[in-house]
Every structure is written in C-alpha cells, then in structure tokens.
C-alpha cells in the first residue's frame, strides 16, 4: 500500500495512485465541529492543510484578519467586510507598515511540528488569498473600478500581496511542506470575474512568476477557485499549476471539464450547490461520473471534503456518505 505522500504525488503526476487521496480539512468553529469532530476521529486523511499565523499578532486575537479587516457574519454565512481598511488609498502606507512579519519563524512552528509528527502525510501550507484579499481590503465595488481607474495603486497592492506570498512560500519550504495552496475565486456562477484581457494585464506575468518560484522551492502548487473558470484552465496548465481545487463542477459541466483531465489534477468534493439535495443513489452516480470525467487510469483526481458543511446545511450522515463513496470508488 502506498503511503499518503506517495499516493498524492502519484495522483498529481499521473503515476498511478492505489486509491483516491483524501483531504479532510474543516473549519474549527462550533457549527462545523459539531458535524465533523467524530468524522475526524474515525477517517484517515492523506492530505493535511496547515495554517500560518503569528500568535502574538494582536489584531488576530481581537477577531481581525492578519490583513487588518474584520469579517462580519450573518448566521451560517461566510459574511463580508464592513469597513475595508484600504477604502481610501491614502491609508496604504500606514496599512502596509502594520502588517505582521510573514518571515517570523513563529508563524511556521505548527508546520514544522506536523511535519515531524506526520512524515508520510502530504502537507500543504495555506497561503490564504491573493487577489481576493484586494476585494476584502478595498471593498468589492471599489476593487472592480480600481482595475480601470487606479492602475498605479492596484499594482502596488498586488505586488505587496505577491511579495508576502513569496515570504510565506519560503517559510513553508523551510518547514518541509510538500505544497502550498492559495484560495482565489476567479469566476462567477456563469462566467469570469473579469475579462481575460484584464486578467492578463494584471495577473499573467505575476502568477507565472509565482508558480515558478514555488516549484524552485521544491513544492507543488494547489489553487482553489470557485465559479466558472474554464477561461483560465489552459493558462493554469501552461503555468504548471499542479492541482486545481474547485467546489462546484456542475455550473461548467463534467463533460467540459473533462477536456483537462490528465493535464491538471482535480481536487473536489461533490458539487456543494447540489450535494445536499442528492439522494444516496444520485450521489453515488455523480461521484462515479466525476471521477471518470476528471481523471485517467493513471490518476488526476483527489477528494477534498468541503470545509464548511454547516454553511451548505450538510448533515454528518450526508458527509459520511460522501466520504465513503469516495473511499470505495
């Protein structure tokens, strides 16, 4: 039997995993823990996602993100930022000067501990969000206008975020992580977040350089994106993105996504917009279709449970059912 690390690498590189690798990474709030705590005790995972944070950075202890904003939630929703710290560009230098030290060794203590504890697991260092942080820092409406009217300011913010990303890559590489992962939502439900021309202008060169930087450090690159992102998948393949993690597939269609099987490794749950409405038979059928469409006989597909089952009203029984189908597929 392959170790977790061997199995994951074989799935990513198309070298024949002996099972579908599994990632069980859940949010730690009370609502989600009520659903997942027993599952985490009973099911073994191959992929662990590791967070980086500075426990001495005071704003985090007060409920703020490391970027200086506070997310306001409503019931089980993810919430939104009410008072973006960069609502005015005049605050940019002050904001930048109050960011935590992303090179601090204390940020990667937990990553090093887990590497020693789980030498055969595949460990992924979480980078958080890059482009999407701009939305949180500026506000959505401001952000969308900035790409047209604030080219100088938006460029210096993007450069700042990518520089921090490289610092985190360095920290995770030194801690012995196998990969890093960024969370970006490049798509809306039916199409792109922005035109390809706009994306190319601001992100093509930066992202290509970033992926190259990660690979030179000896790690794989996992990229999360929700939404309809087929307009970027060829580019991600060109850049060498190793794994694309998407929580929805049905808005694009398995047949269309199958165009990229064998070219990039998919990491997915059952489509989160439909999973809780599925009968047991429908879920089993969908999982078989998804694995067949998105992988080859040599790999190319891995399973990641959705980290916020409470947000989609998924019960513990439904989550167990999904995991069991994947383990036996």
Residues 107-156 have pLDDT tens digits of 999 999 999 999 999 999 999 887 789 999 999 899 989 999 999 999 99
pLDDT for the residue 62: 64
Q: Where are the domains of the chain?
A: 4-327
Residue from 165, 166, 171, 36 nearest 115 by CA: 171
pLDDT surpassing 80 at residue 60:
no
Cα–Cα distances in angstroms (integers) from residue 236 to residues 175, 189, 221, 289, in the given order:
26, 19, 11, 24
Cα-atom radius of gyration of the chain, to the nearest Å? Answer: 19
Cα–Cα distances in angstroms (integers) from residue 38 to residues 41, 42, 317, 319, in the given order:
5, 6, 11, 11
pLDDT for the residue 191: 85
pLDDT surpassing 60 at residue 251:
yes
pLDDT for the residue 74: 67
pLDDT for the residue 313: 93
pLDDT for the residue 83: 85
The percentage of residues in the chain with a pLDDT greater than 90, rounded to a whole number, is 81
Residue pair 124/147 in contact (Cβ under 8 Å)? The answer is no
Q: What is the pLDDT of residues 209-234, one digit of tens each?
A: 999 999 999 999 999 999 999 999 99
pLDDT for the residue 76: 59
pLDDT surpassing 60 at residue 59:
no
Name the CATH architecture for the domain at 4-327.
Alpha-Beta Barrel (3.20)
Which residues lie below 8 Å from residue 318, measured CB to CB, with a gap of 6+? 275, 276, 309
**If you average pLDDT over residues 62-69, what whole number do you get?**
79
pTM of the model: 0.95
**If you average pLDDT over residues 287-299, what whole number do you get?**
97
pLDDT for the residue 95: 95
Half-sphere exposure for 18 (CA within 13 Å, toward CB): 6
């Amino acid at each position: 039997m392959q170790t977790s690390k061997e199995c994951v690498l074989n799935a990513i590189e198309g070298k024949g995993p002996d099972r579908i690798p599994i990632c069980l990474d859940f949010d730690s709030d009370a609502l989600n823990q009520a659903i997942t705590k027993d599952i985490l005790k009973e099911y073994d995972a191959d992929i662990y996602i590791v967070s980086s944070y500075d426990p001495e950075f005071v704003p985090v202890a007060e409920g703020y993100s490391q970027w200086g904003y506070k997310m306001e939630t409503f019931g089980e929703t993810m919430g939104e930022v009410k008072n973006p710290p960069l609502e005015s560009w005049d605050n940019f230098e002050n904001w930048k000067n109050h960011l935590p030290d992303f090179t601090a060794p204390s940020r990667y203590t937990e990553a090093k501990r887990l590497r020693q504890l789980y030498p055969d697991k595949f460990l992924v260092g979480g980078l958080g969000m890059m482009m999407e942080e701009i939305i949180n820092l500026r506000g959505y409406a401001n952000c969308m206008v900035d790409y047209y009217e604030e080219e100088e300011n938006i460029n210096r913010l993007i450069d700042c975020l990518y520089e921090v990303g490289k610092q985190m890559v360095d920290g995770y590489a030194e801690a012995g992580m196998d990969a890093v992962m960024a969370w970006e939502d490049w798509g809306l439900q039916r199409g792109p977040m922005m035109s390809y021309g706009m994306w190319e202008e601001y992100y093509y060169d930066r992202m290509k350089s970033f992926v190259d930087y990660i690979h030179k450090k000896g790690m794989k690159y996992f990229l999360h994106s929700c939404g309809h992102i087929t307009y970027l998948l060829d580019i991600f393949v060109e850049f060498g993105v190793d794994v694309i993690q998407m929580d929805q597939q049905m808005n694009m269609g398995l047949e269309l996504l199958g165009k990229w099987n064998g070219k990039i490794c998919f990491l997915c749950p059952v489509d989160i917009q439909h999973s809780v409405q599925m009968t047991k038979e429908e879920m089993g059928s969908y999982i078989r279709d998804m694995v067949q469409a998105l992988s080859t006989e040599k790999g190319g597909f891995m399973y990641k449970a959705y980290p916020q089952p409470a947000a989609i009203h998924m019960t513990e029984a439904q989550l167990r059912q999904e995991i069991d189908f994947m383990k036996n597929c």
